[in-house]
A and B are shown apart, each in its own frame.
Chain A
Amino acid sequence: MRPFEPASLSTLREGKAPTSFYKESRNEKAVFRAAFAARAPLLLTGPTGCGKTRLVEHMAEELERPLFTVSCHDDLTSSDLVGRFLVHGGDVEWIDGPLTRAVRQGAFCYLDEVIEARRDTLAVLHSLTDHRRSLYLDRINERLPAADGFMLICSYNPASRSALKEMKPSFRQRFVSLDLGYLPEEDEAFVVATEAGVSASFAQQLVHVATVLRQAAHEGTFEPPSTRTVVTAGRLIVEGLEPRAAIHAAILEPLFSGNVVDTALQELIAALVPEGAGA
């Protein structure tokens, strides 16, 4: 097999693929459905871009629930989740946050990278994740029972850089946990081919590049490239970008950290993808 023979662009996707295509790696859909039926909160763990968000979107669609997604960050506070007073002219008015809205409507609330949020923030989730299933809004002194169909889903990447602050075991035990990993190479190639619209063999070569980089990620202590970046690279190639440039822009550049690791990554790509190959 010689990598990066010209791709046949005739395999471009015809029409629109189903919006929420999800390739199962184990039994995650079954676990999700069971957790939903049992009204248990769910914690998804796994590396960046392995499909955690995609699973949630897919299941929200399948179970026909609205979905509120919150990407957690360093400065995310409880009022960003629960709500706050906003000033209107000379008056103040309470505005529900995404979590409160999900609780009222019986929707899915998905907290992406929950570990990133400030420590005090997670405390508001306690009453939602046990038998009480209710949310206490201290600022307006209201106890809000969760409507039917409400489900709390959190995701967490154990290998992420900011997992410096490790998740407390007591918090983790409140959740049903589901560990997702990268798909096996063939399955991932299938996902890339479907999502990006490149040929199966070409998708395989792209995934191979990602696999090699993931091997290097362990030593290089950088975040391994995700399935998402591989799909993006495929899309750029379909749009007519030269493969090496596409891989550089979509997969490599986001991993750069401004030191010698970058050189190592560039060397790997140079070795795997000959210049001027592909489309």
Chain B
Amino acid sequence: MTEALPSAIELARLVEILAPALSQGRRRKGRLVTGRARAFFTSKGCTNVYVPFPLPAVGDKRVSAVRVATCGLALQSSPTKEALAELPLGDLRPAERAALSLVEGEVAMAWAIERFAGLEHDLRALLPTLRPASTLAGRLVIAQGGFLADGRALVVAALERTRAGTPADLIVPELLGLPPLDVSARRSLSSHFRVLGRMPYSVRRSQPRPTVFGIPVGGTDGARSRNLPPRERPDESDPEPSADRRIGIPYDEWNRFTRRYRRGHVSVVERRVATGEGKPLRPAPEILRWFRQSPSHVWRSRLEDGIELDVDAFVDECAARAAGNPVTGRVYRSLDHGDRDVATAILLDASASLGADGGLHLRLQLACADALATALAHTGESHAVFAFSGQGRHRVEVSVLKDFHEPRAVVPGSTGLKTAGYTRLGAPIRHVTKRLLAAPAERRILLSLGDGLPSDEGYEGEYAWGDVRRAVEEAEEAGVTVYHIGVGRVRVDPLKECFGLHRSRRVVSVRDLPRVMAQVHERLRAA
């Protein structure tokens, strides 16, 4: 089987869809992991599953790259992961850990083959040294699609194998991945130094993870920031990123000083926001009125069929018939949609700097996005709403508030979005551009909102401006019209530098945002 290797964004999407389907919903999220220490693994709470990118190379060329991912995901979906995750296994020696991977892998393989008969051939080809085992010590453990024994049975078998085997027997194929232990449980000495030694991310030094609720290093210009910590769900959260194992889709970053890309420098995690929780509120009328767009209906006359008799055409027709001229039969008129094939993506800045004034900026951004989304839904135009924030280059989060093909109109404001983290603007622009390009449309608009001040660890000043500029150029080259609306007063305005004179505008008073945003969008749409 020869086919093109999937790109990072394609594989991320693939994994996202396959993970819950292969596990009957036990794994809710599938994500990519990049870096030197990448591997297949399942999170401690067994809700998330990770797939390495690039995928491990396999000896058997007949198995496609996509199938490798599917097989890896099938193995990670095995109920043996849940059985192991319950056990305290932090103290295993490397050899025991490897043996456990192998024993668990063989049972998982038996489970996968039983459930997904179509993968049997490929699994055997990819893991030629493994013998799928549906029994452990003579006891049946895999039946009816489930794992019948206790996780301890696996550990006992693994310890036995460690005693019996030579180191050569304990080589774990990459496809098996890591056992579901807390992969970030053990921090090295150097990582402690790194965390302690770096610039303070937060005024609250007592927080164990200073990056999450940080306010910008440069402060918020005296404004008060009320960043409440989000609800903690330790079981569902991703393991902490590190330089050699990062979750998400890799993106390049432009270094204007060396005039070179830093390949795979930034990791973007796309997060789907559950829209069911918030109540579906309608945007406030004083904001909505700016965005009200009537579906462009046009009367078309002299049609073969239509909703009404076209009296003029009918009279002409009668006259023509009376005069003995040929008649056409086109005597109806109809009300048609004026077609505009435009896809719009709205990118909101949800970083901590927008949390100033008790979150007024973000609330108004959301209100405008609500109004625009409602207006676009009304005219039936394709649109999506994204929001981003980040914690350094290893984790830039892009939340999908409403996807292009999302079935129903989603009001972004109802999603309970909170401000947190930093502004690494280049990567979200690149990511949303990719998403826009995948949406079927004739023309594409990326409307970005925020204070327009890129700031992150190692992402400030001219370096950051240069990267944003480059990201905008890439988007324009790909045929996406980018426009940025800067919100709020700033001391030094990088908008012109980043987006160009005709591609940006600053709104000093946030109250002007609805009017400006509606005008800008209408102009871009009509262009």
Q: Are B6 and A260 in touch, CB under 8 angstroms?
A: yes
Q: A268 interface residue, CB < 8 Å from B?
A: yes
B377 at interface, CB cutoff 8 A? yes
A215 close to B25 (CB less than 8 A): yes
Report how far A267 CA is from B496 CA in the complex, Å: 47
Q: Assuming the A-B contacts A260-B13, A267-B66, A271-B118, are A159 and B21 also in contact, with contact meaning beta carbons closer than 8 angstroms in the complex? A: no
The number of residue pairs between A and B whose CB atoms lie closer than 8 Å in the complex comes to 118
Task: Please report the C-alpha to C-alpha distance between residue A260 and residue B438 in the assembled complex, in whole angstroms.
Answer: 10
Which residues of chain A from 135 to 190 have any CB-CB distance to chain B below 8 Å in the complex?
Answer: 158-166
B residues near A258, Cβ cutoff 8 Å: 440
Interface residues of B in 364-411 (CB under 8 A from A): 377-378, 380, 403, 405-409
Task: Pick from A2, A160, A164, A259: contact of B377, CB below 8 A.
Answer: A164
* Chain B interface residue count, Cβ-Cβ cutoff 8 angstroms: 49
CA–CA, A84 and B317, complex, Å: 18
Q: Which residue of B lies closest to A158 (CB)?
A: B408
Nearest residue, chain A, Cβ from B116 = A271
B contact residues around A218 at 8 Å (CB): 20
CB of A221 closer than 8 Å to a CB of B: yes
Q: Which among A165, A215, A272 is the interface contact of B24 at CB below 8 angstroms?
A: A215
**Residue in B117, B144, B309, B405 whose CB lies within 8 Å of A274:** B117
Determine if A63 is an interface residue (Cβ-Cβ < 8 Å).
Answer: no
| Contact-residue size bin, chain A (C-beta under 8 Å from the other chain) | 35 or more
* Across-interface contacts of B403 in A (CB, < 8 A): 221
B70 in the interface (beta carbon within 8 A): yes
Q: Chain B contacts of A216 at CB under 8 A?
A: 17-18, 20-21
B74 with A271: CB separation less than 8 A:
yes
Structural contact, B407 and A267, CB atoms closer than 8 A: no
The segment from A6-14, A36-44, A49-57, A85-93 that touches chain B is A85-93
Kindly identify which residue among A1, A77, A90, A220 contacts B17, using a CB–CB cutoff of 8 Å.
A220
Indicate if B331 sits at the interface (CB-CB under 8 A).
yes
- CB of A114 closer than 8 Å to a CB of B: no
A112 CB, nearest partner CB in chain B, Å: 18
**Main SS at interface, chain B:** helix
Closest beta carbon of chain A to B519's beta carbon, Å: 24
CB distance from A107 to the nearest CB of B (A): 24
Q: Are B119 and A271 in contact (CB-based, < 8 A)?
A: yes
With an 8 A cutoff between CB atoms, is B321 at the interface? yes
Q: Is the CB of B308 within 8 A of A84?
A: yes
The answer to whether the Cβ of A273 comes within 8 Å of any Cβ in the partner chain is yes
Q: Chain B residues with Cβ under 8 A from A274's Cβ?
A: 117-118, 120-121
Contacts of A78 in B (CB 8 A): 307
- Which B residues fall within an 8 A CB radius of A? 6, 10, 13-14, 16-22, 24-25, 66-67, 70, 74, 114, 116-121, 144, 307-309, 314, 317-318, 321, 329, 331, 334-337, 377-378, 380, 403, 405-409, 438, 440
Taking Cβ atoms with an 8 Å cutoff, the residues of A that contact B are: 1-4, 74-75, 77-80, 84-85, 87, 90, 92, 158-166, 212-213, 215-216, 218-222, 257-261, 263-264, 267-275, 277
